[in-house]
A and B are shown apart, each in its own frame.
Chain A
């Protein structure tokens, strides 16, 4: 019927969005942002037992300028917050952020003067990964979820439409199990 039927063997059709997504997700270069306990688990994921290299992500770079994923692993203190933002700003677009562990996600058990209550106060976060610290398997799961997100990210006008739609959906969703009054 369409062009698909006329294709020789070994050729597949897809969208530009999917190709770009595939390229972006298949070789992510994380910028380590190891802060506390979670950083050790993150390093364990890089080790032979869990082997992050299976997902093309073993190049844990130190330079933010050659990275597209920031894994905020650990509690972010008020003193560290400006440093974190500076590193994030130095990363080129497109970039993603995983908030690893409850401290990075929400402040966790440290609800006090010293700790930023969630790294989303400073940088936009794509994946919140709970756990204290999350198991390496959980980290791998977060990575896979992020890959899925990256793969299916739309481009250009579609992206703008996607953002508008998500925003509306979030505004309209009926959430509370608990209400204020």
Chain B
């Protein structure tokens, strides 16, 4: 703890000492350390706030408390194993991470056009479901951080419905590693379409409940209206994308601007608001969830039987799995084919599984509109079976830079609302 004529630095130390020291000085400003272990910082985010009474005059952000070295770790695994790593970056939008990565790898392999139609539809469908799950958590944690427990319990309850579908389709609730270079790991299981249709019937009402709870709620409005305002030039300078820039009035959405995975074939609107405040961001998010429902519905209509993995024995992993007697996923047809049908297929399979496929040297950048903004993946290959370098441009990382712009001059209570409205996920920020 340091005390000067100018400020009192209260990071660390005992609060009693701070009070004692504060009484002996004329300093007006107090520097407090919020996080990295704090319930309202959305994970392990550290905020260093300079307070003048209730006003936050300076906000600095410290990150890196969850740095996992994923990008480096991937350099020692095959390209396919990479999906297992990227899915753990932004753990609320795992399917976006996987898609961005797979799109980059597919671009490097130059097989973008050969990814089966059905795989693309499944990707889009899961991404849109994931967008809803992520937005539900964004609202739930926002509510929790402002002290509205009902919002939190509702958000998590609704998310649970989507996770049930993820579990049915991918086998896991989170960290799916389901989308693979060349397609997806396996086809939709029987009953999945029916279950998603059920969700589509149920979900509008659940979103409606959320809207009823929050849209006109005076307490919520008081905490969110005109709070953490950021205008469009500010967004542009700070590289902000996603719901935040759309809440500042720019209808910028990569799904429309640079369609990938066949997004050009879906009918949906891009919700925009010009409020530029926390409330506008909430309105954009909830409207986006309704649009996502539309897209999922169109996906179900577009689903045609067909392969879900690229028909190239050198790249495509066996994706027609069935449940074996040992309870593990297995592909009896494939086993019969490689063990007794074709020597070449056996060699391909062996090479593919032990060594992985080779990716021609070069670099590629693929971006998707994740629930949080532009999620870019820059993949570099040296021609080997493992990535030479993979870097993710995570939206949360970029957006957290805006904390100072949003918070300074506001009250300390609004800092919480500002950070929560950015919806940063530290796994993605720190990677």
By a beta-carbon cutoff of 8 Å, the part of chain A in contact with chain B is 32-37, 39-41, 43-44, 46-49, 60, 62, 74-75, 77, 79-80, 83-84, 87, 109-115, 132-133, 135
Contacts and interface: CB of A to CB of B under 8 A. Distances in A.
Interface size classification for chain B: 35 or more
Contact of A77 (B38, B43, B65, B91): B65
B66 interface: yes
B153 A110 contact: no
Contact of B66 (A77, A109, A111, A135): A77
Interface string B33-44: 000111100011
A60 B37 CA distance: 13
B37 A36 contact: no
A79 B175 CA distance: 24
Nearest to B173: A135
Contact of B68 (A40, A48, A75, A83): A75
Contact of B44 (A60, A80, A109, A112): A80
A43 B136 CA distance: 13
Nearest to B81: A109
Contacts of A36: 43, 66, 68, 88, 91, 426-427
A37 B64 CA distance: 16
A32 B39 CA distance: 8
Nearest to B12: A86
A115 B427 CA distance: 13
Interface of B: 36-39, 43-44, 64-70, 72-73, 84-85, 88, 91-92, 137, 140-141, 152-153, 156-157, 159-160, 163, 173-175, 426-427, 430
B257 to A, nearest CB: 30
Given A110-B69, A115-B69, A43 B156 contact: yes
Contact of A37 (B73, B85, B88, B160): B88
Nearest to B152: A47
B67 A77 contact: yes
Contacts of B68: 36, 75, 77, 110, 112, 114-115
Given A80-B65, A113-B69, 6 more contacts: A35-B44, A36-B427, A40-B174, A47-B153, A62-B39, A77-B66
Contact of A48 (B69, B73, B153, B175): B153
A83 B36 contact: yes
16 contacts: A32-B39, A35-B66, A35-B426, A36-B91, A37-B91, A44-B156, A48-B156, A49-B157, A62-B38, A79-B65, A79-B67, A83-B65, A84-B37, A112-B68, A114-B67, A133-B175
